[in-house]
Amino acid sequence: MDASTASETDQEAARTSSGGKGPTRAYAPAVLEERQPKLTDLIPLRPYVVVMLGLVGLTVIAAIEAIYIHLYQPKLGGAWLRGVDLAQRGSLAEWFSSVTLLVGAALSIVVYSIRVHRVDDYRGRYRVWLWTAGTLVLGSLATVTGVHESLNQACVSLAGTQNALSDYLWLAIYGVVFGGIGLWLAAELWPSIEAFMTLAIAAVLYMLAAAAHVELLPIEGMLLSVVCGTTALMLAHGTLLYSLTLFARHVHLDAQGRLLVNAEPVKRKKSKSKAKLAVVSDDADDSKRKRGSKSAATEDEASETQTIGASISAATLKSPTEDDGEEDAASGKLSRAERRRLKKLAEQGGGHQRRAA
């Protein structure tokens, strides 16, 4: 719908709402499709908004841990409220992690809706966002419900034994599945250095949380171990969401044309062998040109000498005849012997001149 159609609709809505005759609209013009907010409007674009979101996440994590520490009672073995006891299933830490992962899955769908329209993505790398969304949803369910514990009970009941899968095995399974998709996602986030570095920090925090879960860290006391483990896990989920937010901002700005891409092909440098061959060919061409110029100069000189020799020979040949004519004209007083002698001398002089020419 263009601007003229929208203005006509607004005028009609204003006319019907002013008390005119006939049926009237039940909703205001703001309900129209072009005036409704889009999914991309949820992406924070301003830098201070992104920073504020990160600070809000850190504040929530600190508040959850502070409440648990304040209400912790060593005599009862934990907090007296089940919701704030971070060592129990269904605590505030697990709900925070679950909501964070669900928001990350929704943000992945938003990024997918933008990345699918990139014109130079010939290999279809945008599909990683669908896998990321599904993985985050699965992680959210596993965080708040403990799916691996249910699977343990199912395996025990089906096998008829009391040996369940250990935590190390489940960590290995989670590491293979989530780690593979994480590497694929890291390759996608590489154009945005901020998002890539944030994802790397999240990976380190996940490894620390896994080490605290299997009690590999040298931590003494239940309170300290629970606080360290839950803090590392919540920070890992929050950092992952923050990296997705940064990349969503990057993709949205790129789609709007604010981040220009160099579409010109990169000029490759010539190798040394090709450069040497080019120099040799240039030298050969120069030598051929010099030889051609020298041959042309010698031909010009030869032609000039030929023309000069021809002119001299013509002059020398012509002069004796003219002299003979003048002598014949003035030789009425000479005898025949003298005439023959003069003719021989003239012929000998002409021959010498021809040889000199």
DSSP-derived secondary structure for 18-62: TT-SS---SS-GGGSGGGSPPGGGGS--SHHHHHHHHHHHHHHHH
- The set of residues, in sequence order, having a beta carbon less than 8 Å from that of 251 and lying 6+ positions away, is 111, 114, 115
Greater confidence, 136 or 331?
136
* 80 and 31 belong to one structural domain: no
* Residue 246 predicted with pLDDT over 50: yes
* 227 and 175 belong to one structural domain: yes
* 31 and 44 belong to one structural domain: no
Confidence of residue 322 (pLDDT cuts 50, 70, 90): very low
Q: Regarding beta strands 72-73 and 78-79, do their DSSP bridges make them parallel or antiparallel, or are they unpaired? A: antiparallel
Could you tell me if residue 287 is inside a domain?
A: no
Confidence of residue 14 (pLDDT cuts 50, 70, 90): low
* 223 and 104 belong to one structural domain: yes
* 32 and 59 belong to one structural domain: no
Greater confidence, 115 or 157?
115
- The set of residues, in sequence order, having a beta carbon less than 8 Å from that of 323 and lying 6+ positions away, is 346
Name the nearest CA neighbour of 234 among 209, 211, 253, 210: 209
- The set of residues, in sequence order, having a beta carbon less than 8 Å from that of 8 and lying 6+ positions away, is none
Greater confidence, 200 or 163?
200
Average pLDDT over residues 186-198: 92
For the entire predicted model, the pTM comes to 0.63
Q: What span, in angstroms and rounded, lies between the C-alpha atoms of 119 and 5? A: 31
Greater confidence, 162 or 138?
138
Site of tokens 């520490």: 69
Q: What span, in angstroms and rounded, lies between the C-alpha atoms of 72 and 65? A: 10
* 16 and 54 belong to one structural domain: no
* 241 and 188 belong to one structural domain: yes
Q: What's the domain count of the chain?
A: 3
The per-residue pLDDT for range 61-76, each reduced to its tens digit, is 999 999 888 887 665 5
* Residue 245 predicted with pLDDT over 70: yes
Could you tell me if residue 288 is inside a domain?
A: no
- The set of residues, in sequence order, having a beta carbon less than 8 Å from that of 66 and lying 6+ positions away, is none
Radius of gyration of the chain (CA): 50
Task: Output the pLDDT for position 176.
Answer: 85
- Phi, psi (degrees; rounded to nearest 5) at 213: -70, -35
* 5 and 118 belong to one structural domain: no
* 22 and 49 belong to one structural domain: no
Average pLDDT over residues 245-261: 85
Could you tell me if residue 286 is inside a domain?
A: no
Could you tell me if residue 290 is inside a domain?
A: no
Q: Give the bridge partners for 73, in sequence order.
A: 78
Domain that holds residue 9: 1-36
CA atoms within 13 A on the CB side of 30: 2
Return the number of other C-beta atoms located less than 10 Å from residue 322's C-beta: 10
Task: Output the pLDDT for position 171.
Answer: 75
Could you tell me if residue 239 is inside a domain?
A: yes
Confidence of residue 36 (pLDDT cuts 50, 70, 90): confident
Sign of the alpha-carbon torsion through 55, 56, 57, 61? positive
Greater confidence, 326 or 214?
214
The per-residue pLDDT for range 102-150, each reduced to its tens digit, is 999 999 999 999 999 888 888 888 899 999 999 999 888 888 887 767 7
* 44 and 129 belong to one structural domain: yes
Could you tell me if residue 280 is inside a domain?
A: no
